[in-house]
A and B are shown apart, each in its own frame.
Chain A
Amino acid sequence: MNAGHPAIAIRNLPYPIREPPVTPPDYEYLRKLLKDRSGLDLSVDKQYLIESRLLPLSRKAGLAGISELVQKMKGGSADLTTQVVEAMTTNETFFFRDKVPFDHFRDSIMPEILEARATRKSIRIWCAAGSTGQEPYSLAMCLKEMGATLAGWRVEIIATDLSQEVLEKSKAGIYSQFEVQRGLPIQMLVKYFKQTGELWQINSDIRAMIQHRQLNLLHDFSQLGVFDVIFCRNVLIYFDQDTKINIFNRLAKITEPDGFLVLGAAETVVGLTDVFKPFPDRRGLYRPNGVRATPAKQPVAAAAAPKLAAMAGR
């Protein structure tokens, strides 16, 4: 059986070996389209990424290769274009990814919110690129673990993503053995999941905590309302600087003045905008800067007061 492997491997390649690489004009077309549609900012050397993501897609659509795919897209196939945009998104995620943000959520964010919202007893959380659900469900499990502390509270977790396909997976909450072993402590697996054969489904009471919506971060998202906590992790890294700044400014408008923004490990607002400021000693955690984008409307004296107070406090 081993002797047969090389031949099988060649026959099973997703494309014939003589397939031409993506031509420069096709690459430019795709680059611009992706930038406009999803914000994805591909550098000039990402041909391999285009090939690895789009060749399987064109095969599935019965097309000869990327050139034909691009032709069809130029011809106005909205369905293919959506598929291309979704195929180019990176949906890498796992439970309690990077761990620290969830420690912050439990130890820094939630205690403050419990105090600040003690009368209102409601909390709104947004996972701005929820992917296949591991992040929103990790937050939901964190909240469940708090037990009676949240009794009588109204908790809303909204998970959005550009891709309808990953949202469907998130809604179903069904994960492979491999996926449930990435980051999820075994006690939580036993407590919050049900096993069906090789697959694991997160319990319906946890699923019911999440609302799913398809959303493109390039578009207006003010209709989602105002949030106490926004997790927007490992998505802005794919955008260019102007797009990042634009999104930060719009995020600030829908973050409660005493709310929180959580970014990915490789992301920051520093050097881009001052609508958010880093939370001291809590890596990846940010808060609105208080100084909203419209300081001109404030009377000069009122605007000067906090600065004076800060100076006096030094």
Chain B
Amino acid sequence: MQTCLVVDDSSIVRKIARRILEGLNFQVIEAEDGVDALVVCKRAMPEAVLLDWNMPVMDGYHFLSHLRRMPGGDSPRVVFCTTENGIEHISRALEGGANEYIMKRSTRKSSRPNSRK
């Protein structure tokens, strides 16, 4: 079974992503931020990473640049999934080694702190 690492500070987003990915026969591992995610990747490289951009401690973009420099870090397919929908962010992500980019519908950022549990 292939493994997908879901990196998002929102537990709700992680839960929804898990449900979808398990439906696609992925084994899902969760991480709350970039540092958390790097720890997971050091243990074992996942086949895929679903990655939020804005997170506390270490954001998705910095996680990606660390990941791509790790031994074996070029193998996971990295898919950003974020409300950062500007072309500048998308271009940066692709240059940083992202494979795909899902633009989420913009929602109020103010709802985010409550969503973390």
Contact = CB atoms under 8 A, between A and B. Distances in A.
Contacts of A177: 85, 103, 105
A178 to B, nearest CB: 8
Interface residues of A, number: 9
Given A177-B103, A181-B102, A181-B103, A186 B85 contact: no
A298 B94 CA distance: 60
A24 to B, nearest CB: 43
Contacts, number: 20
A34 B94 CA distance: 48
Given A190-B90, A190-B94, A185 B85 contact: no
A2 interface: no
B87 A186 contact: no
A195 B85 CA distance: 10
Contacts of B105: 177
Given A177-B103, A181-B102, A181-B103, A190 B86 contact: no
B75 interface: no
Interface in A145-196: 177, 181, 185-187, 189-190, 195
Nearest to B90: A190
Q: How large is the interface on B (under 10, 10 to 19, 20 to 34, 35 or more residues)?
A: 10 to 19
A189 B102 CA distance: 11
The CB with the most chain A CB atoms within 10 A, among B85, B91, B94, B103, is that of: B103
Interface in B89-114: 90-91, 94, 98, 100-103, 105
Interface in A180-215: 181, 185-187, 189-190, 195, 198
A198 B90 CA distance: 14
A186 B86 contact: no
Contacts of A187: 94
A16 to B, nearest CB: 32
B49 to A, nearest CB: 15
A187 B100 CA distance: 8
A189 B100 contact: no
Contacts of A195: 86-87
Nearest to A198: B85
A190 B102 contact: no
Contacts of B101: 186
19 contacts: A177-B85, A177-B103, A177-B105, A181-B102, A181-B103, A185-B100, A186-B94, A186-B98, A186-B100, A186-B101, A187-B94, A189-B90, A190-B87, A190-B90, A190-B91, A190-B94, A195-B86, A195-B87, A198-B85
Given A181-B102, A190-B87, 11 more contacts: A177-B85, A177-B103, A181-B103, A185-B100, A186-B90, A186-B94, A186-B100, A186-B101, A187-B94, A190-B91, A198-B85
Interface of A: 177, 181, 185-187, 189-190, 195, 198
